[in-house]
Every structure is written in C-alpha cells, then in structure tokens.
Amino acid sequence: MASRRIEDLHPDLQPLCTAFLRQCHAAGMDPLITCTYRDGAEQDALYAQGRTRPGPRVTNARAGQSAHNFTLGGKPAARAFDVVPLINGKATWDAAHPHWQQMGRIGEQLGLNWYGRPTARFREFPHFELAKGGA
C-alpha cells in the first residue's frame, strides 16, 4: 500500500506539505493527499501500467527512481507527494478544473517543483516534489 502519511515524507518536505494543505484550505480548496511514500514493488507495478499491463501510462520511473521511493536511514522519506482536489467530497482528476492551477501556484510559491507546470518534462498534475539541493 502506498502511504498517505505526512510522516513518511522527507523531513524537509513535511513542513512544506503541511503549509501547502493549510494554504489550500485557506483558499477554499479541499486537497486530498493520495500518495507520499511508495515502495519498490508498488513503483514497478505502476511502471508496468500502460506497458505490460492495461491502463494509461502514469510514470516513467522504475523502483528506486521515483521521488516517492526515497528513504533515509532505511525509513520512508519521500521527496514528493501526490494530491487531488476534492469537489463536494469527490476527487476531481480533470486537469482543466481551476483548482489544479490554484494548487500548483501555492506549491510553487512554497518552492516545490510542480509537475503540472507547462514546462514539465513529464506532466503529472498531482505531483509536487522537493526541489533538488534540499538535503
């Protein structure tokens, strides 16, 4: 099972994630964290999707290559979290919904690397990652 726990994020990312959620709530949004840490087996299963298994391709990262797989001293310390906006309690995956852009702006203002930005190499709207160089 992928973790949704903020405690499974890198120590540098935990306060940024908390601030992100707080600011989204203050802006009238209701974001749901769908993934923080993901282990290698789960990453490989996700990689297989759209390749050797049905479904859309959702990642270019194999086990150990994703920021979600990062560990510190053998403990989960994901360098990224995935989030989806809830509208009336339901996850809204349509990237055209304005909440995605609003969430992206909040994340970027916190210094996070948002993969939904137009210049991202592989666009992945739910994905917010700790900028390189941060520990």
- Find the shortest distance in angstroms from Cβ 125 to Zn ion: 10
- Tell me the Ramachandran region of residue 71: left when phi exceeds 0, alpha when psi lies from -120 to 50, beta otherwise: beta
- Find the shortest distance in angstroms from Cβ 130 to Zn ion: 12
Contact residues for Zn ion (CB under 5 A)? 80, 82, 127
Output 99 or 126, the one with its CB closest to Zn ion.
126
Output 17 or 88, the one with its CB closest to Zn ion.
17
- Find the shortest distance in angstroms from Cβ 69 to Zn ion: 10
Output 28 or 36, the one with its CB closest to Zn ion.
36
Output 18 or 34, the one with its CB closest to Zn ion.
34
- Find the shortest distance in angstroms from Cβ 117 to Zn ion: 14
Output 8 or 82, the one with its CB closest to Zn ion.
82
Q: Rounded distance, CA 70 to CA 8, Å?
A: 10
Name the residue with the smallest CB distance to Zn ion: 127
- Tell me the Ramachandran region of residue 80: left when phi exceeds 0, alpha when psi lies from -120 to 50, beta otherwise: beta
- Find the shortest distance in angstroms from Cβ 44 to Zn ion: 15
